Amino acid sequence: MLTFDDPAISVKNVTKIFGEQKVLDGLSFDIEKNSITTILGFSGAGKSTLIKHILGIMSPTSGSVEVLGTDLKSLDQMELREFRRNYGMLFQYAALFDSFTARENVAFPLREFTPLKEAEIMSTVKDLLLSVGIKEESFDRLPSELSGGMRKRVGLARALALSPKIMLYDEPTTGLDPITTKMVNNLIVETSKDKRNDREMTSVIISHDIKATLEISDYVAFLDRGKIIEYLPVEEFKKSDKEVVQEFLRL
C-alpha cells in the first residue's frame, strides 16, 4: 500500500457500519498532496461513503480521517464548517441552484464565506467562469438554459471559488457525450495543476470511467467491499495482478 511523508488525506483504520452492514472495513490509505487520485470500484463498494467521510459529512464507527493534518473528529460543527473552506466539490449532476444564473451560482460561496465587496466578487466570478470556458453571453443563463457540459463547467467554477486545497469529484463525466467528457477531463487536469494561477490542489475522483481514469490520474485505488485491494501509480495499476481489477479494466 502506498504511503507518503506528508499526505493531504490520511484514512486510518476506518470502519463504517450501518445497522448490520459494514460499508467500510478497516480502511487505511493516504492520498498524496497535489496529485490526482481516482477511486474505482463496482456499485456498492463504498466509494460515496468514503467521500462523505473525507468531507466530514459522516463520522466513522471506528478509526479516523485526517485532512491537511487535522483529525476531522476533533472539530466541532462550527470548526468543521470553517474547515470545509479547504474543499471544493463537483457533484455528479453539478447540483447548481436552479433559480440562480451561472453568475449567481459561482458568486454564492464568495458571498457566503468571504468579506469581498460586490465589485470584487463580480470580478472574481468573471475570471472563474472564463477560466472554465464559459463565455460572457452565458453568464446570466439559468441552469435549465445550459447544456450538460456547461453546467459541469459552472459547477467546477463554483467549486474553485474559494481556492480549495482539496477538490472532490463525484462521477464527473456521468451522462456526458464523449466530446464533453474529454473537455471535463481536460479541465480537471488543468485546474488541478494550474501553474499560471499558482494553483495546485489535491484532486480525488470517484469514477466508473476507466478510460479517463487511466489518462488523467496519478494514482488509482480500487475499492471492493469496503477495502482498498489495490492502490498504485496509474502505470502500475494497469498491470495489476488482481483478477477483480483486471475484470473491471476489461469492462
What is residue 194's predicted lDDT score, i.e. its pLDDT?
62
What is residue 195's predicted lDDT score, i.e. its pLDDT?
47
Q: Distance between CA atoms of 23 and 15, rounded to whole angstroms?
A: 7
Q: What angle do CA 30, 36, 40 make, to 5 degrees?
A: 75
Residues in Cβ contact with 148 at an 8 Å cutoff, skipping those fewer than 6 apart: 175, 176, 180
Indicate the pTM of the whole model: 0.87
Domain boundaries in the chain?
9-249
Mean pLDDT of the chain: 89
Q: Distance between CA atoms of 221 and 206, rounded to whole angstroms?
A: 10
The share of the chain scoring above pLDDT 90, in percent, equals 61
**Cell 496529485 belongs to residue:** 35
Q: In what order do the strands lie in the sheet with 70-71?
A: 21-31, 9-18, 62-67, 70-71
Beta strands in the chain (DSSP E): 9-18, 21-31, 36-40, 62-67, 70-71, 87-90, 166-170, 193-194, 199-200, 202-206, 219-224, 227-233
- Distance of alpha carbon 230 from the chain centroid: 20
Model confidence at 196: pLDDT above 70: no
What is residue 86's predicted lDDT score, i.e. its pLDDT?
93
What is residue 197's predicted lDDT score, i.e. its pLDDT?
52
Of 182 and 103, the one with more pLDDT: 103
Mean pLDDT throughout 70-88? 93
What is residue 93's predicted lDDT score, i.e. its pLDDT?
64
For the four alpha carbons of 184, 188, 191 and 194, in that order, the dihedral sign comes to negative
- For residue 227, report the phi and psi dihedrals to the nearest 5 degrees: -130, 145
What is residue 95's predicted lDDT score, i.e. its pLDDT?
80
Q: At what angle do helices 118-131 and 102-113 cross, to 10 degrees?
A: 130
CATH architecture of 9-249: 3-Layer(aba) Sandwich (3.40)
Q: Distance between CA atoms of 129 and 146, rounded to whole angstroms?
A: 13
What is residue 198's predicted lDDT score, i.e. its pLDDT?
57
Q: Are 41 and 223 in contact (CB under 8 A)?
A: yes
Q: Distance between CA atoms of 108 and 31, rounded to whole angstroms?
A: 29
**What digits encode the pLDDT tens for the residues 117-160?**
999 999 999 999 998 889 999 999 999 999 888 888 899 899 88
- Split at pLDDT 50, 70, 90, the class of 67 is very high
| Residue of 178, 188, 241 lying closest to 211 (CA atoms) | 178
Q: Distance between CA atoms of 230 and 155, rounded to whole angstroms?
A: 31
Mean pLDDT throughout 1-27? 91
Element (H, E) at 3: none
Q: Distance between CA atoms of 44 and 41, rounded to whole angstroms?
A: 8
Instruction: Decide the pairing of beta strands 199-200 and 193-194.
Output: antiparallel
What is residue 212's predicted lDDT score, i.e. its pLDDT?
86
- For residue 93, report the phi and psi dihedrals to the nearest 5 degrees: -115, 30
